[in-house]
Structure 1
Amino acid sequence: MSSSSTSTVALDSAPHDHRPPLYNAGRLGQARQLLGVAILCLSMLLTQSSLGQTVLPIRSIARTFDVESSDAQQSWFAASFSLTVGTFVLPAGRIGDLVGHKTVVIVGYAVLSVWSLLAGLSHYTGSYVFFDVCRAMQGLGCAVLLPNSLAILGRVFAPGTYAKHLSFSFFAATAPNGFLVGALFTTLMDMNSRLGWQWGFYIMAITAAALAVLCIWILPNEAEMRAVSAAWESDTKPESSEPSTPIEKKAPLWQRIDLFGTLTGIIGLVLFNFAFNQALVVGWQTPYIYALLLVGLLFIGVFIYGESKALFPLLPTSVFHLSGTFILLSLACGWASFGIWLFYVNLMQQTIRGYSPIFTLLTFVPAGVAGIVAAFSSAHILGKTSPPFVMLLSLIAFCTGSCVAGNAPVRVESLPYIASAIMPFGMDMSFPAASIILSDFLPAHQQGTASSIVNTVVNYSIALGLGFAGVVETHVNEGGRNVLKGYRGAFYMGMGFAGAGVALALVNWGMHLRESKQSQRDKDETEAEKF
């Protein structure tokens, strides 16, 4: 990334050679900086690897826990992970803002390591409930990792620079390939009769533990990141990465962490999502499902009201202007369709087309290649056009991929591969676009909050989208007698989400064009008045 003579930041801003390197790398120079960015990007790779661990070998895992006949129960293998990632990522970002992003990244890797090990060991218990708990705790580790890794990237690169766009694109590029890596290792372990799927989780535990140790030595500390932030032309005060007001510095920890908002938000999101996914297992006729939904909605309402009154709200109000709201809603729709596509393409390939897990993996290989192309092309596109336009392109990709896969005839086996090559353009264009927008809206000391909002929307929408798709599937599959019809219904739900996202993104882009024209008109009038 940088040395005493060259750096990504320097290349991005040649006239400003007075800027320090990415961070003080000591005697290791460029090697430490490259490793630092790589470790931060690996947090996304391991998150998607953890998701992929239960998607392809889902039938083998189901046999271990004797739930092979229940698609609804199997959906919890992925949904429990996404649920906790989406729920806890926002408070995790706030904690990182307060205690230091480097420390929280180390803790995140440690948590992921411990619970990956326990998830592997759960096959000895035969309890799918314990396995689901382990998966949820894996998600907690990833929830801690993601926003704080992005926060460090956001703090060491100046807003609007190509280097920042490129680093966020690197981060996004690891997502589809991370899924492939996790699915591949767990599937290969499952194919080995001497090992089993649990060894995929053991490998994850070892990898996360090694990264936790490396973070202590390689990642920049708070003083180094403050020094880099102070060097930005738009931020000349070294203190800017600290709480900006005396009131905030003197406030008790429970107020700065927004303890009331954290508790009500977590309870509301967990109950609402749990009710939707659990209804697939016990049926909507079960009374406690409706009770959990109502209580969850109540807590979400209390959370929203409390945030409007909080001294230090978990959700900064500066993010939720009209344009930001449209972007986040379209992001949620797109990633909900992605989660549905991912889960049901796997089921279609293995259940309907009769593919083996390893052959099913080949369906997603185009996503890995296309993901790299999409991530770095998005960095270039973001430098040439507006983020709202990039969001529109990403939602079109989500919608197109969902339609191709969901409407593919069973005998036409090439179409899922084509859809796999399209979907990464939705993933890798939407994620950096939304992250950069929110990151640039907020000051340096709230970078964890900015990235947390994006990760919350992405991961919670995946879990909630699976819940909606499962409801549709169970209501149209004729009591399990027409499996294909149920899968088609779930795909149509994904298409609906993606279509709604396209409409939202299109409206937002139109608003952006109108504002740009008005701004240019005002500028021209001001110039005319000068003459």
Structure 2
Amino acid sequence: MSLSVKSEAGGPPLQPPPPPPQQQLDVESNPQPKPDTNVYPADALSTPRQILFVGTLCTSMFTNQVGLGNTLTTVGVIGESFGITNPGQLSWLIAGYSLTIGTFILIGGRLGDEFGNKKMFVLGMSWYSLWSLVAGLSVYSSHVLFVFARVFQGMGPALTLPNGLAILGQSYSPGARKNMAFAWFGGSAPFGAIAGFLFGGIFALAWWPWIYWSQAIALAGVAAFAAWAIPPLPVQPKQNRSILEKLDDLDIPGGLTGVTALVLFNFAWNQAFVVGWQQPYVYVCLILGVLFGVIFFSIEVYWAKNPILPLAAFNSDIAFVFGCTATGWACFGIWVFYIGQVAVNIGGNTPLQMAAWFIPIIPSGLISALAVGKLLGKIHPSWIMVVGQVAYLVGSILAATRPAHSIYWTYYFFSVLIITIGMDTSFPAATIIFSNAVPQEFQGMGASVVMTIINYSISLGLGIAGTVERQINRGGKSKSDELLGYRGALWLGVGLAGLGLVLSLIYVAKDKLKRRPNA
């Protein structure tokens, strides 16, 4: 439609006056914004590019499990090179890694929110690579350096795991593709565990430091590739903030007191396995851990403007998720450590044999994870959680009752096959339940909390199991005494799995009662 009008005298049409020069400049330099059609960048990627993108993020779960598996089956070889035979000291070579991951994941997620998830993912892989190198170099020093290197290794996955999940959540729109991306993330765990078992055993045949040097090389390559494979993210850190505003957003007092509480509490349980509860510093650390925990919760509830753990988002659903996740994964940590101890120390199997014996983890874990990805929209996650707890219970019972010298294809095979279902169903189910139970503004925090519970439970479960083993193995003076201690720890895992099953059934009943009035 023309904006011109005719003059009263019938002359040529009059044109509207041009806008002032400054207005013209504003229009040209500030055109109207176009609607953002690429809110979820991964949706616009080609299929090969999506495979590379999701695969790169899955390396965070894969490498996390590698770091656990490559030491589980070779801990005896590593300990022997340092002159360590005490099972309590050997457990620290494993527990220190999981302890650090579980302690620092919440902080890793918050750092990603404040400084960029992609930056923290790449930084985490680089940090993990550096301390893997140091772990190998510790062969020229002592087991103290090795333990420190393992502890600092754990800070790498503490950065990559929550930020990898956050990147997936930001990059895919809700729907089937997002569910499958999360399923693949969980499904990469068994592949990582087997890779850790296999390459740990192979390199141990040559010289065990190459377990960690090869890991360092691979992680450096992943860090470089991730910088290219991860596209620009739609959610960017806040800009133009002062240093005080950044410190306030990080909730440093809450982070410091929370980390201190977790470290002291877990240290007390794991160290009690080594020296016993009669040592004053052990129960002093336990008491201090509880006190720092009280201070942490007080800060989060009454003082922090941006709490690192927003307790206001928690409800009874979250309590059941935490309980089931904690008991299940503590059971898994005990199972994977002590079933290996029985096979190697009592049955005389080699680390390489152990790697082969864990191969059923791959098909069982992959099928479980992908099945959960397909079923999440059709079955309530609480039922998937029940299936996971049943798998933990049955797999643990098979491990606890297994004769030490029985053939592989009986107890051991079925225990590995079944308990993997628990691992790869409980993780996605817990993540979805948590996501559905908290408000939208806390969605990014959900995955970090679940990963914190998982890794901290593994470490704490091993510490408590070690205490049980120490109390009943009569000093471990004979193989039968050692086996008695191992079985005691495995039966503790059975008890934890049973508790988790009861909690999951209560949660299902509670969910049915809650939905009944709406039926």
1:381 is displaced (CA, Å) by 2.2
CA distance in 2, matches of 1:242, 1:438: 24
Partner of 2:146: 131
Equivalence for 2:210:
199
Structure 1 residue runs of 5 or longer lacking an equivalent are 1-17, 227-240, 521-531
Structure 2 residue identity aligned to 1:55: L
Match of 1:474 among 463, 470, 473: 470
SS of residue matched to 1:383: coil
Q: Secondary structure at the match of 2:277?
A: coil
More deviation, 439-448/114-123: 439-448
1:35-69 CA distance string (max 9 Å, x none): 111010011000000011111111110111110x2
- Note if contact 1:155-1:444 (Cα within 8 Å) is conserved in structure 2: no
SS of the counterpart of 1:350?
Answer: helix
* 1:404–1:416 CA contact under 8 A, matched in 2: yes
Matched with 1:368 is 362
AA of the residue aligned to 1:184: L
Matched, 1:388 2:382: yes
Q: Structure 2 matches for 1:210-221, cutoff 5 A?
A: 210-221=221-232
The one-letter amino acid paired with 1:85 is: I
Q: How does 1:449-528 map to 2 (within 5 A)?
A: 449-481=445-477, 482-520=481-519
What is the TM-score when the length of structure 1 is the normalising length?
Answer: 0.86
Q: What is the number of equivalent residue pairs in this alignment?
A: 477
Q: Assess, with a 3 A threshold, how the Cα gap between structure 1 residues 470 and 424 changes in structure 2: closer, same or farther.
A: same
2:220 to 209, 231, 237: 209
Q: CA RMSD in A?
A: 2.1
Given that 1:165 and 1:436 are in contact with CA atoms closer than 8 Å, whether structure 2 keeps it comes out as no
State the distance in 1 between where 2:70 and 2:250 align: 33
Distance (Å, rounded) in 2 between the aligned partners of 1:187 and 1:155: 38
Closer, same or farther: CA 221–40 of 1 in aligned 2, 3 Å? same
Identity of aligned residues (%): 39
Q: Which residue of 1 aligns with 2:297?
A: 304
Correspondent of 1:58 among 72, 75, 80: 75
For residue 227 of structure 2, what is the amino acid of its counterpart? I
By how many angstroms is 1:242 displaced? Answer: 6.9
Letter in 2 for 1:275: A
**Which amino acid is the alignment partner of residue 458 of structure 2?**
I
Deviation at 1:362, TM superposition (A): 2.1
The separation in 2 between residues aligned to 1:203 and 1:447, in whole angstroms, is 36
Distance 1:142 1:172, change over 3 A: same
Worse-superposed segment, 90-99 or 317-326: 317-326
Cα displacement (A) at 1:412: 3.0
SS in 2 for 1:410: coil
* 1:23 and 2:41 aligned: yes
Q: Determine the C-alpha separation between the residues in 1 that align with 2:483 and 2:437.
A: 45
Equivalent residues of 1:344, 1:490 under 8 A apart = yes
Q: 1:109 aligns with which of 125, 146, 157?
A: 125
Residues 21 and 98 of structure 1: is their aligned pair in 2 closer, same or farther, counting only changes over 3 Å? closer
> Where do residues 317-466 of structure 1 align in structure 2 (5 Å cutoff)?
317-413=311-407, 414-441=410-437, 446-466=442-462
Give 3-state SS (helix, strand or coil) of 1:53's partner: helix
SS of the residue corresponding to residue 354 of structure 1 reads coil
In structure 1, the partner of 2:278 is: 285
Change (3 A) 1:446 1:109: farther
Partner of 1:153: 168
Match of 2:138 among 122, 126, 142: 122
Question: Is the CA contact 2:57–2:164 (under 8 Å) kept in the aligned structure 1?
Answer: yes
What whole-Å deviation, never above 9, does each CA across 1:462-503 have from its counterpart, x for those lacking one? 000000100000001111131111011000111111111111
Q: Distance in 1 between matches of 2:438 and 2:321?
A: 16
Q: Does 1:86 align with 2:102?
A: yes
